[in-house]
């Protein structure tokens, strides 16, 4: 057996994060195997995005370690993540609305390039060659993500579901091994969510990705995810299969709040657990 078969691709140990004296995360430990679809769930304000921010080197944790394929990530520069093979999307749509689809996707490759794309010097020398290569390299990806029909259209004219798919394509443009998704289905209707799920699965299969996805849509989590890390108040409640997680009384209690009468009613919570709308989650903690 090779090391890769036994060593997790991502190994997160005992992460603690405090910001301005507030404990945001405590004792977070989990690993993600190569090829796994790992999900992170929990009520609003549980610390899910903060955890992703630690892994993607936006937040510096107060303790713990993160290993990615044998590399200590907390010692790596944020700018080196793309080269290491890590890409992410953000909770809020982050596209350049005035630019077209190709430019937005090519921008994702910028971190792999030395000269930077779409800069003032873009048409000269190495930068020009690099941009041409980057555009060519993105063409199969545009096809894979079914974006060929939208290529020359400004982003602002496109439906929300397509925009989210472009954002996905832009993350994929760095050719990651590990893809971090922060609520990819946020703001989508059921149809858009189903469609996005298919594209995520296509990307995972065709590009051999390992995925860590934060998501509130429990239908999506149970359909796609292999295991779920459930966070509440910055600590781990459990790590188990998504199906087990949504019927786990500790998880249901976290979503509903311990003092909720509904938490004592298993028939009611059984239903709510599947949907877990954001407003039921502890939104007041925001
Ligand atoms: N930069 C920061 N400064 C101060 N507090 C922060 C910062 N980042 C996160 N927090 C706090 O940490 C807690 C966790 O926030 P985080 O965004 O990680 O939650 P989340 O689980 O992603 O929630 P949601 O489901 O609403 O996206 C919240 O109380 C939040 O206010
Ligand atoms: Mg979040």
Q: What is the pLDDT of residue 266?
A: 46
Q: Rounded to 5 degrees, what angle do the CA atoms 183, 71, 30 make?
A: 45
Q: What is the pLDDT of residue 124?
A: 57
Q: What is the pLDDT of residue 111?
A: 65
Q: What is the pLDDT of residue 167?
A: 93
> Of the residues 17, 22, 185, 237, which should be mutated to test ligand 1's pocket, given the most ligand atoms within 8 Å of the CB?
22
Q: CA 273 → CA 93, 246, 251, distances in Å?
A: 27, 5, 8
Q: What is the pLDDT of residue 279?
A: 38
Contact status, residue 204 vs residue 211, Cβ threshold 8 Å:
yes
CA of 179 to the centre of ligand 2 (A): 16
Q: What is the pLDDT of residue 128?
A: 73
Query: Where do we find the tokens 């925009």?
Result: 163
Q: What is the pLDDT of residue 257?
A: 78
The whole-angstrom separation of Cα 104 and Cα 85 is 19
Q: What is the pLDDT of residue 242?
A: 96
- Written as tens digits, the pLDDT of the chain (286 aa) is 444 557 899 999 999 999 999 999 999 999 999 999 999 999 999 999 999 999 999 999 999 999 999 999 999 998 899 999 999 998 887 788 888 888 889 888 876 665 444 554 445 566 777 778 888 888 999 999 999 999 888 888 899 999 999 999 999 999 999 999 999 999 999 999 999 999 999 999 999 999 999 999 999 999 999 999 999 999 999 999 999 999 999 999 998 875 544 444 444 444 334 444 443 333 333 2
Q: What is the pLDDT of residue 113?
A: 60
Q: Which atom in ligand 1 lies closest to the alpha carbon of residue 53?
A: 18
Q: What is the pLDDT of residue 104?
A: 87
* Smallest-distance ligand from the CA of 231: 1
Q: What is the pLDDT of residue 259?
A: 52
The whole-angstrom separation of Cα 155 and Cα 205 is 27
Q: In what order do the strands lie in the sheet with 63-68?
A: 22-32, 10-19, 63-68, 71-72
CA of 55 to the centre of ligand 2 (A): 14
Q: Rounded to 5 degrees, what angle do the CA atoms 121, 126, 131 make?
A: 75
CA of 205 to the centre of ligand 2 (A): 26
CA of 135 to the centre of ligand 2 (A): 32
């Amino acid at each position: 057996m090779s090391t890769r078969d036994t060593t997790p691709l991502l190994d997160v140990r005992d992460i603690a994060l405090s910001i301005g004296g507030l404990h945001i995360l405590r004792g977070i430990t989990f690993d993600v195997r190569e090829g796994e679809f790992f999900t992170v769930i929990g009520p609003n304000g549980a610390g899910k995005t903060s955890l992703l921010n630690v892994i993607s080197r936006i937040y510096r944790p107060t303790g713990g370690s993160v290993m990615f394929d044998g590399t200590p990530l907390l010692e790596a520069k944020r700018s080196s993540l793309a080269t290491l093979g890590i890409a992410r999307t953000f909770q809020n749509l982050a596209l350049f609305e005035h630019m077209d689809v190709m430019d937005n996707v090519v921008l994702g490759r910028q971190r792999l390039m030395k000269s930077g794309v779409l800069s003032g010097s873009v048409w000269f020398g190495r930068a020009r060659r690099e941009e041409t290569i980057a555009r060519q390299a993105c063409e199969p990806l545009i096809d894979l993500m079914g974006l060929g029909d939208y290529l020359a259209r400004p982003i602002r004219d496109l439906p929300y579901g397509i925009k989210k798919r472009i954002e996905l394509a832009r993350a994929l443009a760095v050719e990651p091994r590990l893809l971090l998704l922060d609520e990819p289905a946020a703001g989508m209707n059921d149809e858009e969510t189903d469609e996005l799920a298919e594209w995520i699965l296509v990307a995972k299969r065709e590009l051999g990705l390992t995925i860590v996805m934060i998501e509130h849509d429990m239908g999506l989590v149970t359909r796609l995810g292999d295991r779920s890390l459930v966070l509440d108040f910055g600590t781990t409640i459990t790590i188990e299969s998504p199906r087990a997680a949504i019927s786990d009384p500790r998880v249901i209690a976290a979503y509903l709040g311990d003092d909720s009468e509904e938490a004592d009613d298993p028939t009611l919570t059984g239903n709510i657990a599947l949907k877990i709308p954001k407003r039921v989650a502890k939104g007041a903690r925001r």
